Structure 1
């Protein structure tokens, strides 16, 4: 009997690999001779680097770069083991976790460190880079990233403008002549489910700016600056990106990547499915186990369990897909009604505090997987 085990992380308690290992532990208690295929997953957000490195037996690289407030930070990214591909999470270098309520300021926060990670990956000879762009502290349209790559953002006096979204109103010209040829040749795959445009009421500043510290006055300034920045990019590079879906992701980093690198946007889960080779590994499965911290009505909008279910049912339509989660919310029944996730189980073993639930996560997930296996056994 073949079980494919492909969960996302249980945020705050288990990495995707740890969750998969816990599920495998539970199944082995009932089916010690079963074939278990573990494929740690992610959806392009937090944990994507870890999951893809684990799934492909890749390696981690450590680099010191500039954080969102231009401070030195030590971060990691991955080289995949089954392709000449690097995987980066922009939040590692430019994420909201580096700022506090007192220090967050989207007028000065920069994606410069993300550009430094791209350059480092290029120096290792990769031909593709996957970039997950969730969780940013920035609203600079990817300008800092571009400046790190060698793009010159010049004011009317021909001088480089400063870092941060507050400086974009000064940009008069864009000069890409100093960008390394290798940067232009590397294929960049943007992992993002965000469809917001760069500007306007659904744009980066209006929707995401306030959570990064923007006051209403800052939101207007930042939105005006991004509008101006997009107009300069269009005039100098011929790329009209302001209304493109996803251009507003990560404070407009989507725009910067599309403007200054050889980039395309894809759904995060689709990229992880492809590079983890989930479809190939799921062939011939009898049962599929997936999961993450919560399964609810949002799951069908590109979350990992939904992507795993859709993918595995293409190659193993006979295999039931079973979800295990720390929490089951509204809409779980809809997933079963649609024939996507056939059954879902909450893993906590009894009422307990959040702290205790986190501490018990591995053993609770294992116990739930064991009970799933016992149910399978009595049904045969």
Structure 2
């Protein structure tokens, strides 16, 4: 170990307790107590879920919109005027925490996210980067479509009810009032899961129960997404199409309608793209230690999440990786330094203590 080691601190958010930026700061404070001369680089991370927008630079825009239950709320997104890109977490308006006390698994919709998208386009955004994760919805992105002026109708010509409950009755979409500039944007959809939209591993069967759906409601939602894919001519079996309740289904149809192909919509794993976009991928080979963290470290952490992405990059570069986690379950890969947060009401103290422990273990390993 050099006298002035370079340490990259790149945690995900600890949902409900600390943002990725806050976690980075607190972990670094603990490291500094043990390694006062270290060069510490703060690089907050995300994987397409909650906290993705905050990773990118730009102006924070906050405005009134609706949550997944249709109730008035406020939500924020990041607008980078220089690149004409809006970074929007779908969870900001359509997230599960806002309706956790009264879940809306079949009627929850993404209309509020569509309001943010329309606002961003009105401010000059031509590229919309959506972080798909943490939603309370399984509506196939139909709420966003409605917010952008589309009307989903059944065979009798009536508008569908909000959410996924009526998608199995979809017959056509009226685009007479469509927000063309918004629909024609370049879409970057960042996923934190690789699930398809439909089937046994799809959005409804895997994630709808977490949003409060009963077994019967799961069947209704899966049938609705399947029918929606069939009517719109969208392949719902592709990896990532099931993220955020199948949002990519509606947006793929919209982009393809306006451009004649799906060349302007990109469904991508979030963590690798964010690591590349923020320069973290280039920095890791020059580091002596990489530290990340998340609420729970388990087998899923290594499948496209922040921990798995950084483990792959650090391992390839021969750099050790430390992980601070609220809970650790399962086997730990070789080369990973795991530190479980101590039980304390103050998350800043938990993270500073974890940073200190990681630094001590790093020193002991030489």
Does the pair score TM above 0.5? yes
Q: Would the alpha carbon gap of residues 181 and 25 (structure 1) be closer, same or farther in structure 2, given more than 3 Å must change? A: same
Alignment correspondent of 2:170: 171
Secondary structure of the residue that 1:7 maps to in structure 2?
Answer: coil
Q: How does 1:325-344 map to 2 (within 5 A)?
A: 325-332=325-332, 335-336=333-334, 339=335, 341=336, 343-344=337-338
Whether the aligned pair in 1 keeps the contact of 2:193 and 2:304 (CA below 8 Å) is no
Equivalent of 2:292 in 274, 290, 293:
290
CA-atom RMSD in angstroms: 2.6
Q: Would the alpha carbon gap of residues 295 and 106 (structure 1) be closer, same or farther in structure 2, given more than 3 Å must change? A: closer
Alignment correspondent of 1:237: none
Instruction: Tell me if 1:242 matches 2:233.
Output: no
> What stretches of structure 1 of length at least 5 have no aligned partner?
235-239
Whether the aligned pair in 1 keeps the contact of 2:195 and 2:202 (CA below 8 Å) is yes
CA distance in 2, matches of 1:111, 1:23: 35
Whether the aligned pair in 2 keeps the contact of 1:17 and 1:40 (CA below 8 Å) is yes
- Worse-superposed segment, 63-72 or 158-167: 158-167
Equivalent of 2:23 in 19, 25, 44:
19
- TM-score, normalised by the number of residues in structure 1: 0.83
Secondary structure of the residue that 1:139 maps to in structure 2?
Answer: coil
1:202-244 deviation per Cα after TM superposition (whole angstroms, max 9, x unaligned): 333333333434344433333333333222212xxxxx32333
Alignment correspondent of 1:94: 94
Secondary structure of the residue that 1:70 maps to in structure 2?
Answer: coil
Whether the aligned pair in 2 keeps the contact of 1:138 and 1:251 (CA below 8 Å) is yes
Whether the aligned pair in 2 keeps the contact of 1:174 and 1:233 (CA below 8 Å) is no
Q: How does 1:208-223 map to 2 (within 5 A)?
A: 208-223=207-222
- Paired residues, what number? 354
Alignment correspondent of 1:190: 189
CA distance in 1, matches of 2:297, 2:100: 30
Q: How does 1:1-380 map to 2 (within 5 A)?
A: 1=4, 2-50=6-54, 52-53=55-56, 56=57, 58-80=58-80, 83-100=83-100, 103-176=102-175, 178-234=177-233, 240-261=234-255, 262-314=264-316, 317-332=317-332, 335-336=333-334, 339=335, 341=336, 343-348=337-342, 352=343, 357-359=344-346, 361-377=347-363
Q: Would the alpha carbon gap of residues 206 and 6 (structure 1) be closer, same or farther in structure 2, given more than 3 Å must change? A: closer
CA distance in 2, matches of 1:4, 1:112: 38
CA distance in 2, matches of 1:195, 1:319: 27
Secondary structure of the residue that 1:298 maps to in structure 2?
Answer: helix
Whether the aligned pair in 2 keeps the contact of 1:286 and 1:318 (CA below 8 Å) is no
Deviation at 1:60, TM superposition (A): 1.7
> What stretches of structure 2 of length at least 5 have no aligned partner?
256-263
Q: Would the alpha carbon gap of residues 114 and 177 (structure 1) be closer, same or farther in structure 2, given more than 3 Å must change? A: same
Answer 1 or 2: which has greater helix percent. Answer: 1
1:123-155 deviation per Cα after TM superposition (whole angstroms, max 9, x unaligned): 222232221222222222211111111223233
Deviation at 1:75, TM superposition (A): 0.9
Deviation at 1:122, TM superposition (A): 1.6
Whether the aligned pair in 2 keeps the contact of 1:190 and 1:265 (CA below 8 Å) is yes
